[in-house]
Amino acid sequence: MQSHSSRHVVSEQLKDLHPDLSEPFAKHVIEDEVAEAHGRRALPKLVAVLALPELPDDQRAHALRILNGLLSTQEHKTNAVAEGAAPPLCQLASQCRDDEVRRLSCSALASLGQVMAGRNAIVAAAGLPVLTEALQTTPEQAAAALKAFAISNDGAAQLNVERAAIVPALVTLLSQPTDPAFTLTAFTNALSTLEGMTRTDDGVLAALDGGVPACLVALARRGLEGDLKFEGRLMELLQLVATCLEQICHHADGKAACRQAEAHKVLAELLTLHHRETIKHAAAALMGLAVEKESKVNIMLYAGVSLVRLMRGADAELAANARDTVAAAAEHLEARRTAEMLLGMEERELLLWRGPPPETPPDYRYHVELPKFTPPAK
């Protein structure tokens, strides 16, 4: 059978094997080429490409994806900081119009923020205001970058320098309804940032100025009975809510703010969950709240049954938190009557008082004034 196919030529010459008929190797480095270089040249090449002002957004996104893949070890993160990666990343996160580039830039900043040198470089490049502004456009990645600061003592101190702007932005994020942009992960990262900031006195005061207690109560309500109820990682969010409330409730100025936000009602509901860490922090928050005179009766009214159940349980740490809460609340006579109704006499002596009941403090005693007797006139 006759074949009419074209002639097939086989050649082992490089010019024939290479698919590109142009010059196979450039004589100089291609500055705007996005490629992963080998060895020590990998990070400097990508940082130099990202610093180019006229690079198309799709190539920037490609370079950022390669960079995020390389930032997997502390050595690479430190080398990226040394090559000056923080300033171009901050510039892209604030000025680039492409959503994917901004998200990838914030993710890279979150990786750099996990080392001290990276945090210092981000602060030096004015990155904290950039990340604060990015909480409304790329909330999940920007909150993750701030979370990287909050988990360390030096990073939390740097966040507290900008607390006047960061705390209101976090409260605004946590108040948003859930949608593809404002996810549960974004809320969890924002709460982790607040948890790190409220470890200090200045952070708690900034949280009180920003209305954080009311925001935490509303967020917990959404998790217990609202739009976040069926999320897969809900317990992590509720644990962070309880931890933040614990740190605020143990502050002298935070007790009144938590009482006004009716935090005791939410904390009482958190005690009924089957999650030990959430219960532990909720009981500790109630312990700090029970010191305040105005909260003692409400704590026993809403959380008394759950606290007594924890006191009778086998977990020593939870039982200790519950006992201290009930003992502090029982200084008030009305709260003491509630405790006596929930506990028998032997349980009060063994679990609560560990001996005879103490005397009621003078501020909580009943003062009875009898009218002065005046003998009748004859």
Let me know: does 92 contact 50? Beta carbons within 8 Å. Answer: yes
- Whole-angstrom distance, CA of residue 111 vs CA of residue 118: 8
85 is in which domain, residue-wise? Answer: 34-125
Q: Using the 3D structure, point to which of 125, 154, 184 is the last residue of a domain.
A: 125
**Domain total of the chain:** 2
Q: Mean pLDDT in the chain? A: 86
On the question of pLDDT at 280 being above 50, the answer is yes
Q: Using the 3D structure, point to which of 107, 125, 143 is the last residue of a domain.
A: 125
- Say if 329 falls within a structural domain: yes
On the question of pLDDT at 364 being above 60, the answer is no
Does 100 lie in the same domain as 218?
Answer: no
pTM of the model: 0.82
- pLDDT tens per residue across span 66-108: 999 989 889 999 999 999 999 999 999 999 889 999 999 999 9
Task: Give, in degrees to the nearest 5, the angle at Cα 320 between 258 and 235.
Answer: 55
- Say if 228 falls within a structural domain: yes
- pLDDT tens per residue across span 254-273: 999 999 999 999 999 999 99
Does 222 lie in the same domain as 99?
Answer: no
213 to 36, 95, 210, 243: CA distances (angstroms): 47, 33, 9, 12
- Say if 225 falls within a structural domain: yes
Percent of the chain predicted with pLDDT > 90: 54
- Say if 337 falls within a structural domain: yes
Task: Give, in degrees to the nearest 5, the angle at Cα 125 between 111 and 62.
Answer: 50
- pLDDT tens per residue across span 137-171: 999 999 999 999 999 999 999 999 999 999 999 99
Residue partners of 104: CB distance under 8 A and separation at least 6: 61, 64, 65, 68, 141
On the question of pLDDT at 1 being above 50, the answer is no
